[in-house]
Amino acid sequence: MLKSLYIKNYALIDSLEIDFEPGFSVITGETGAGKSIILGALSLILGQRADAKAIKQGESKCIIEGQFEISAYHLENFFAEREIDYDANCCMRRELLSSGKSRAFINDTPVTLTDLKELGSMLIDIHSQHQNLLLGDSRFQMQIVDALAGNRDLIRDYQLSFRQYREVQKALDELKEALKQSKEEEDYLRFQYEALKEAALTEGEQEELEAELETLNHAEDIKSALYKVYNLLADDEHGAVPSLKEVLNTTHPLSRIFTKAEEIIQRVETAYIDLKDLSAEVERLAGDVEFNPDRLSFIESRLDTIYTLQKKHNVSSVAELITLYQELSRKIEAIETSDEQLTVLEKELQQKTETMLALAKKLTASRKAIIPQFEKDLIAKAAYLGMPNIRFQCEVNALEQPNVCGTDDIVFQFSANKNVPLQPVANIASGGEISRIMLCLKSMIAGASALPTIIFDEIDTGVSGEIADKMGSIMKDMSKDMQVLAITHLPQIAAKGNAHYLVYKQDDDKTTTTHLRRLDDGERLKEVARMLSGSVLTDAAMENAKVMLGF
């Protein structure tokens, strides 16, 4: 249950801290006093979307914090799965910054809004006026029936199975489409593959061939130049190597009388050895260079094949052609093994479909089993709320294709008057009738779901007098098993609360602020009297209020 609420710098609220009681509590106040502001702040800690405009003007941050007693609701797994410290007194907090960013916390541990919303959905149900529109929504009607049937675990198992079924179905559809395209281009793929396979390309081949081609095309020039270099190095009369030999012969005797000549000898010997080796290498290279017309023809043909393949596939290297060859190999292999893949997926889809439909069948049986009692209870509750001639029927129709809720389509059929045929409830129910039906439904599912807290935001719209009194009795009866808060404009409902809170505004020269406080017995008497008579309290209104409150 909601134990307390703290709000700071939200909309027209400077700072507000209020404790709530178990049982049935009511919140009243003038129109525009700020009841919607209180609910707006509460919705933030339940994970709803935040708007930086909600921050009080002139402030940089607002804080909303709710304290909840959760010891009776077996939520330990929720905390353990998210590595959040569990405490029976749970604190949910939301901080909204003027930059538009927000932060969420559970027991001072930062969490995602998804986590905050999931926990909030297990703690509070806020029924606002716009939710009455949900009555005509088939998904909402399905949720009502599932809640009454206790299908929560079965729905979870079915939806997991349905997601798995859809994933396999999607994979199968994608494979079929890919295979269709592949089959259409298989001949072309094989043609490309065979051409590359026949080429038998190797990494670095192109660069080596291009270098060899350059050598063959200039063989005579290269050979002539190398022999000239050789002669310059090794010619007996003018070559560098014999000259260095003569330098050594001249320098060796000098070393006996000139010690520094030894360094010259060492350096010349090094140069002599290097140049002698170099001249031998140049002579060998010159001998190796020969013009080979057959080799030249082979290289030109081979390079022509490489260039043609590169142009055809719009690439610039042999490495890219090799990569393409490998990709084509994989595609062809996939085509060749596609029938096996198709068979595996089709078998898996069949298994997933059978599992999903078996769970859907259980859902259908569970829903149909609860419907007779559901119809009977709703008619009885609606009759108590001034609809004695109501007829109500919950139809279950089979869908052609399963969806996330199963294979059923549920339609609430309704008639409030005799001799008026049943029609979908949203088509014919008036505002007051919808309010009463929604209260009946909420009271029924509240008992089934064991939700800690429910808040009714003016669910009494369109009713008054005796019917309002009975609606208040239903809410009070609900509060035996859960915490119920009702925002109301009707004194008949306000008088039934165990605790009474007032929302009001205060103005000064600069600002308007919204406040919320619990009323004592004397203040409550005046508030109920005001709701009966208006701004001017009459003696009759005060007497009526005393009767309603049992004072």
Q: What is the pLDDT of residues 334-351, one digit of tens each?
A: 777 777 888 899 999 999
> What is the per-residue pLDDT across 15-46, written as a single tens digit (0 to 9) for each?
999 999 999 999 998 887 888 888 889 999 99
CB 61 within 8 A of CB 95: yes
pTM, rounded to two decimals: 0.66
Least trusted range by pLDDT, from 217-231, 252-266, 313-327, 399-413: 217-231
Of 332 and 2, the structure prediction assigns the larger pLDDT to 2
CA distance 416 to 87: 48
Least trusted range by pLDDT, from 252-256, 272-276, 438-442, 538-542: 252-256
- Mean pLDDT, residues 150-161: 93
Count of CB atoms within 10 A of residue 148's CB? 23
Looking at the DSSP bridge assignments, the partners of residue 514 are 505
> What is the per-residue pLDDT across 208-256, written as a single tens digit (0 to 9) for each?
888 877 777 777 777 778 878 888 887 777 788 888 888 888 888 887 8
Options 3.40.50.300, 2.30.30.110, 1.10.10.10, 3.30.70.270; which CATH number does 1-123+451-518 get? 3.40.50.300
Give 122's DSSP letter. T
- Mean pLDDT, residues 308-334: 88
Chain-centre distance for alpha carbon 212: 60
**Helix ranges, 55-130 (H):** 76-81, 113-121
Chain-centre distance for alpha carbon 11: 30
Angle formed at CA 229 by CA 223 and CA 235, multiple of 5 degrees:
120
Check pLDDT > 90 for residue 297: no
CA distance 275 to 475: 111
Of 420 and 352, the structure prediction assigns the larger pLDDT to 352
CA distance 217 to 215: 6
Q: Where are the domains of the chain?
A: 1-123+451-518, 187-336
Check pLDDT > 90 for residue 375: yes
Predicted confidence at residue 165, as pLDDT, reads 96
CA distance 398 to 405: 12
> What is the per-residue pLDDT across 165-211, written as a single tens digit (0 to 9) for each?
999 999 999 988 887 777 777 778 888 888 898 888 888 888 888 88
> What is the per-residue pLDDT across 45-62, written as a single tens digit (0 to 9) for each?
998 888 878 898 888 899
Element at 280 (helix H, strand E) = helix 261-288
pLDDT band, residue 96 (cuts 50/70/90): very high
pLDDT band, residue 159 (cuts 50/70/90): very high
